[in-house]
Amino acid sequence: MEEGPYKCVRDGNGTVNRVIRMGTRKSQLARIQTDYVAEKLKTLYPDVHLEIVAMSTIGDKILDTALSKIGEKSLFTKELENALERNEVDLVVHSLKDLPTTLPNGFTIGAVLQRESPHDAVVLHPKNSGLTLDTLPDGSVIGTSSLRRAAQLKKRFPHLEFKDIRGNLNTRLKKLDEKEDYAAIILAAAGLKRMGWEARVSQVLGPEDCMYAVGQGALAVEVRARDCDILEMVSTLHHSETVLRCIAERAFLRRLEGGCSVPVAVNTEVKDSVLSLTGAVYSLDGADSLKEAMETSVDPGNKLVSAADIQHVGVTAHNVPQCAQVAAEKLGVDLADLLLSKGAMEILTTARKLNDAR
C-alpha cells in the first residue's frame, strides 16, 4: 500500500489501517452532520481510524450580512477545500446545497447521502403558537435571508413582511425566541431535524407554497478527485435516487448560472424509473416568475451514451448507472434551456442587480 499523503497505522496483522481525517465547520449542525457520516463510515469500515478536524469558514465569521450579499461564491467551503488541497484533511462533509455547481479543479463530490426532507419549515415565535403563515396577522415579520424563500412567500402570502436573519441555527432560534423582531422564521426542515428541533416545526411548506433549493436536505462528501482510495471508500455512501435528483437539480442551476444569491427553486421526484424535475426562477418580490417541469427515464436499461466525463456537475458516482446520470444531467440542462428561452435570464439578472443594490 502506498503511503501517499496519509498517516498509516499497522495493526500487527499485516494490514494497514489509515487514519482518515474529516474536515468540518465548527457550527453545531456541521458537527452533527460530520458525526453522522463518521458513524456510517465506522460501520462500513470498522478498521479505519477517523479523526475530525473542525475549522471556521467565512460564512461562519460574517454573521451580520445576508449570505446573498457577501458575494463570495464558496462561503462555507473555501477554507475546507484549502485544507483538502494541502492534505490536512482527506474528506469534507457539507450540506450539498452549500456546494457550488462548479467545484474548483481537483475536487469532486464522492458521496451524496440519502436525502432528508428537502422542504422548508416554519418555526413560530412561541407567542404565535397555533398559527400558520396564512393566519398570522397582517404585517407579521418573517425572518429569512434566502431570496428564494422570500420571493415565493411574498407572492403567496402578501400580508406578511420579510426581513433578513443571519447566523447559525442556534443564533437564529435565539433571535426568534428572545426578541420580538420576528413572528416566525423559515428554515430547512432537514437542518432542524438533525439538530433535534423537530418539535419547533409548526408547518412544513409543500411545493405549492415554497419549492426548495437545489440539493437541499442532502449531505455531500467532498474529496480530492485523484484520491482513488478515498473516492472508492466514500462511494459506498451514495444513495442512487438522491444522486440522480441532485444531478438534475445542480445541472439546472449551473445552466442558469445561479448560485446561492439568486431566487431559483426546484422540486424533484423519482417514480418507476422516471425522474421528474420542476424548476422555477423568481423576481425578488415574486411578482415575475417562470416555472416549468420535465421528466426523463433513468432506467439503467436506457441506452443513452455515457459522456467521457465521469463527473456530473461535480459528482463522481461510479456505482450509479452512468446512463441514468447522463439522463439526469441532460434533464436539468434541458429544463434550464426551456426557461431561458422564455426569459429566465432577464428575471435573474434583474434580481441580482436589485439584490446587489440593496
Residues found near ligand DPM in the complex (CB under 6 A): 67, 95, 97-98, 144-146, 148-149, 187-188, 190-191, 213, 216-217, 260
Assess contact for 216 and 298: CB atoms under 8 A: no
For residue 281, the minimal CB distance to ligand DPM (Å) is 13
**Beta strand 219-224 with 91-95: parallel, antiparallel or unpaired?**
antiparallel
Q: List CB contacts of 302: < 8 A, sequence separation 6 or more.
A: 323, 324, 327
Assess contact for 312 and 324: CB atoms under 8 A: no
Separation between Cα atoms, residue 210 and residue 162, nearest integer Å: 14
| C-beta of 95 vs 140, nearer to ligand DPM | 95
| C-beta of 260 vs 326, nearer to ligand DPM | 260
For residue 43, the minimal CB distance to ligand DPM (Å) is 21
For residue 55, the minimal CB distance to ligand DPM (Å) is 16
For residue 7, the minimal CB distance to ligand DPM (Å) is 30
In degrees to the nearest 10, what's the CA dihedral of 86, 88, 90, 93? Answer: -100
Backbone φ, ψ for residue 58 (5° rounding) = -55, -45
| C-beta of 67 vs 335, nearer to ligand DPM | 67
Q: How many whole angstroms from its chain centre is CA 354?
A: 24
| C-beta of 243 vs 326, nearer to ligand DPM | 243
Assess contact for 17 and 26: CB atoms under 8 A: no
**Comparing C-alpha atoms, which of 79, 118, 78, 119 is closest to residue 100?**
78
Helix, strand or coil, per DSSP, at residue 16: strand
Residues constituting the chain: 358
| C-beta of 256 vs 326, nearer to ligand DPM | 256
For residue 219, the minimal CB distance to ligand DPM (Å) is 7
Separation between Cα atoms, residue 28 and residue 34, nearest integer Å: 10
Active site residue 98: yes
**Grid cell 463510515 — which residue?**
41
Instruction: Please give the C-alpha separations between residue 80 and each of 34, 100, 258, in angstroms, as whole numbers.
Output: 13, 13, 22
| CA angle (119, 124, 128) in 5-degree steps | 145
| C-beta of 49 vs 175, nearer to ligand DPM | 175
Q: List CB contacts of 202: < 8 A, sequence separation 6 or more.
A: 121, 122, 123, 124, 129, 131, 132, 184
**Comparing C-alpha atoms, which of 196, 197, 212 is closest to residue 123?**
197
The catalytically annotated residue of 47, 60, 98, 209 is 98
| C-beta of 175 vs 342, nearer to ligand DPM | 175
Active site residues: 98
